[in-house]
Chain A
Amino acid sequence: MKSRFTLAATVAVLALNAPAHADTLRLLTWGGYAPDAVIDLFEAETGHTVEVTLSNNEEMVAKLRATGGGGFDLAQPSQDRIAGPQAEFGIYKPIDMSKIDTALFIPSMLEATKTNTTVDGAVYAVPDVWGTSGLIVNAAEASSVADYTDLCNADLTGKVTYRLKRPTLIGFAFSMGLDPFAAYGDIAAYQAILDQVEAKLIECKPVVKTYWSGGDELINLMRSGETVAAMAWDTGGWKLNTDNADINFVAPTSGALGWVDTFSLPAQGRADDAAYAWINFVMQPKIAAMITEEAGNFTASAGADEFVNDALKAQYQNSFPPAAVDNIRWYPPVPAEIERIEGETLDRVQAAG
């Protein structure tokens, strides 16, 4: 009798423990951040399985909000989308820094992200992939474009495209000599900046061919030559550069906008151990280099640059002379209220005849 009880207890303990050793990691991330090759290596090494859901910043927050932070075990929103939504909706849980191998990260980047994602003394994210948005210019057709406001040049009428999203508002503001980040804490001041940007964007509207909404759409517009200048991400420019040497990403004179996508834990994630294992796995320099090759963007992994192919390195150095790197303007955390007034501005720009 006793032995049978012991056996049953052993089985029960094993059953309870088993998931901790072999979990399913439900990863909510961007395209290219979890290449199949990396997943295979991770699954072989740890025994966990990975389920990937591709998304973008807005949808990640919306999905987590809809489920109260459930449905996923690891999410990768940008660092400016952590503190605001966390204060508002409570969709993340704090990171246990003792489980993170901090030696793998570029120290300055790790510190910056920790600072930006701290709410009530708890850290909610660590950095992963970073990149910039700026201009993609076809030098043969639009060599005059050096800053966001140059996208309004009348000689480019019908040849320009950009998104109608918040990076456009921020980029134009900097290009017009304003500092929106400094006004983040002051709604009235921020509204004043937005009003000026709104007027400028409406004035520029006749020059725009269309407001692009998807990455493929932008690539097609630039590749076909229908547009010759755009506001977009750096990787899009480098991708186009591979096909057509005239087209390349250009860091605007007022500064490229820098973003950092993070690792953060959804509030009701069930496989935290697997999540930490994934973070520590993909931050290894060789693995991080594989992600860079796939996504096009560099990571916060220390020493990964060495393993990245030369073509990508050359494109990066071409777009970012040392001065341009120093000039990158990193997005600070977005206070919830300013997204609402930005939205109204964007709606008015779109509706303006």
Chain B
Amino acid sequence: MTPGRLSFFLLLAPLVLWLGLLIVIPHIDMALVSLRARVAPGEYTPSLQNYADFFTQPLYLVTFARTAIMSILATAITLIIGFPISYYIAKIAKGRSQASLFLMCLIPFWVSELVRTFGWIILLRETGVISGLLQWAGLADQPVEMLYNDSAMMLGLVYTSMLFMVVPLTTTLESLDDAVIEAGYDLGGNGFSVLREIVIPHAMPGIVSGCIVVFMLSLGNYLTPTMLGGKDSLWFTQLIYSQFIVRFNWELGAAFGFCLLGASSLIVWGMLRLTGQTLERTMGEGS
């Protein structure tokens, strides 16, 4: 083996170890766990029962569908709010204000997700800041409860994900030459058509990579639905958590995990197909 090849393999070793130890092996183990059923204390038999449970129990399917739809909705809202912010940061703000705006998007992520979520609880709760302000301003004559419902949860999800949408979007929008936008206007385009024909097509890799990350984060979020969600809002990750931790039913929990993995991969694949992007291109541009 030449020294060149040796150093190549040495460089590769951490990646292989990381992939192997932290991703491949645990997944194989989980896959095996998901494919067995308990017959007696400490005794198991190979079985597809767990997957059958997932597809036959309406509760699980409904919870899964609800989680997926809410995640897609959260992704769409994040995109709609994040796009103008990114456009402003990348194209309109200059110099110091650009840097400070970016910093403002970043600062909430210096504190833990738990603290951020508590912040929302303090704002939204019945005896919280917003409720108090509304009463003080005379807009409400009694305390207003804004916590413990799907809107509060959506707010939390969007807030948590915003940075992961703004970063790839700002990066791709910054790479768009200002002159190209001006050319769009110069040749007769208005704001809408320049956005639709020039800005969005150019930003598409950033939009898709931002959406993939935000969708995955929302789908896999546990804390926000648990803390901000209402008494009806069951999130799929809560089902997985309770199977693993509360029910000691690792078999079903593992099966749920694989169903989540499969379905989210399918949705991401669909998103890529729909927008005509490839994973290589979006991840290359977005980072």
Direct A–B contact in complex, judged by CB atoms less than 8 Å apart: yes
Q: Is the C-beta of A307 less than 8 angstroms from some C-beta in chain B?
A: no
Interface string of B68-88 (1 = CB under 8 A from A): 000000000000000000000
Query: A88 and B125: CB pair below 8 A?
Result: no
Give Cα A197 to B125, complex, Å: 30
In the complex, which residues of chain A have a beta carbon less than 8 angstroms from the beta carbon of B245? 58-59, 62
Partner of A350, one of B42, B147, B234, B244: B234
Contacts of A217 in B (CB 8 A): 227
Q: Which residues of chain A are within 8 angstroms of B244 by Cβ–Cβ distance?
A: 62
Q: Is the interface of A mostly helix, strand, loop or mixed?
A: helix
- Assess whether A154 is interfacial by the CB under 8 Å rule: no
Whether B59 contacts A348 by the Cβ 8 Å rule is: yes
Determine, out of A29-37, A267-275, A339-347, the stretch whose residues face the partner at the interface. A339-347
B230 touches A210 (CB 8 A): yes
Looking at chain B's contact residues, the main secondary structure is loop
In the complex, which residue of chain B has the Cβ closest to the Cβ of A346?
B242
* B231 touching A210, Cβ below 8 Å: yes
Do B148 and A209 touch across chains, with their CB atoms under 8 A apart? yes
Please indicate the chain A residues that have their CB under 8 angstroms from the CB of B234 in the complex: 347, 350-351
Closest to A158 in B: B145
Do the beta carbons of B248 and A61 come within 8 Å of each other? yes
Q: Are A226 and B231 in touch, CB under 8 angstroms?
A: no
B246 touches A (CB below 8 Å): yes
Which residue of A65, A211, A343 is within 8 Å of B242 (Cβ)? Answer: A343
Complex CA–CA separation, A33 to B219 (angstroms): 36
Q: B15-40 CB contact bits vs A (8 Å, 1 = yes)? A: 00000000000000000000000000
Q: Is A213 an interface residue (CB 8 A)?
A: yes
* A343 and B241 alpha carbons, distance in the complex (Å): 12
B37-54 interface code vs A (CB 8 A; 1 in, 0 out): 000011000000000000
Write out the residue numbers on chain B whose beta carbons fall within 8 Å of the beta carbon of A209.
145, 148, 231
Q: Which of B42, B145, B231, B249 contacts A343 (CB 8 A)?
A: B249
**A contact residues around B248 at 8 Å (CB):** 61-62, 65, 85, 88-89, 336, 339
A343 near B246: Cβ-Cβ < 8 Å: yes
Contact B247 A343 (CB under 8 A): yes
In the assembled complex, the CB of A54 is this many whole angstroms from the nearest CB of chain B, namely: 15
Residue numbers in B under 8 Å from A343 (CB-CB)? 242-243, 246-247, 249
A1 within 8 A of B: no
B62 an interface residue at 8 Å Cβ cutoff? yes
Residues of chain A within 8 A of B125, CB atoms compared: 224, 226
Q: Please state if B148 and A210 are interface contacts (CB–CB under 8 Å).
A: yes
What CA separation (Å) do A36 and B25 show in the bound complex? 39
**Contact pick for A351, options B127, B232, B249, CB 8 Å:** B232
Map CB proximity to B onto A54-89 as digits: 1 under 8 Å, 0 otherwise. Answer: 000011011001000000000000000000010111
Is B98 at the interface (CB under 8 A from chain A)? no
Interface status of B63 (Cβ within 8 A of chain A) = yes
Task: Point out residues on A near B: beta carbons under 8 Å.
Answer: 58-59, 61-62, 65, 85, 87-90, 158, 165, 205, 208-211, 213, 217, 224-226, 336, 339-340, 343-344, 346-348, 350-353
**Closest 10 A/B residue pairs (Cβ):** A210-B148, A343-B247, A224-B127, A88-B41, A87-B41, A226-B126, A62-B245, A58-B245, A350-B234, A58-B246
**B binding-site residues for A, Cβ under 8 Å:** 41-42, 59, 62-63, 125-127, 145, 147-148, 226-227, 230-232, 234, 239, 242-250
Known: A336-B248, A340-B247. 19 other contacts (CB 8 A): A62-B244, A65-B248, A85-B248, A89-B248, A158-B145, A209-B145, A209-B231, A211-B231, A213-B226, A213-B227, A225-B127, A226-B126, A340-B249, A343-B242, A343-B246, A350-B231, A351-B59, A351-B62, A353-B232
Task: List 9 A–B pairs whose Cβ atoms lie within 8 Å, in order of A's numbering.
Answer: A59-B245, A87-B42, A88-B42, A224-B125, A226-B126, A336-B41, A340-B247, A350-B234, A351-B234
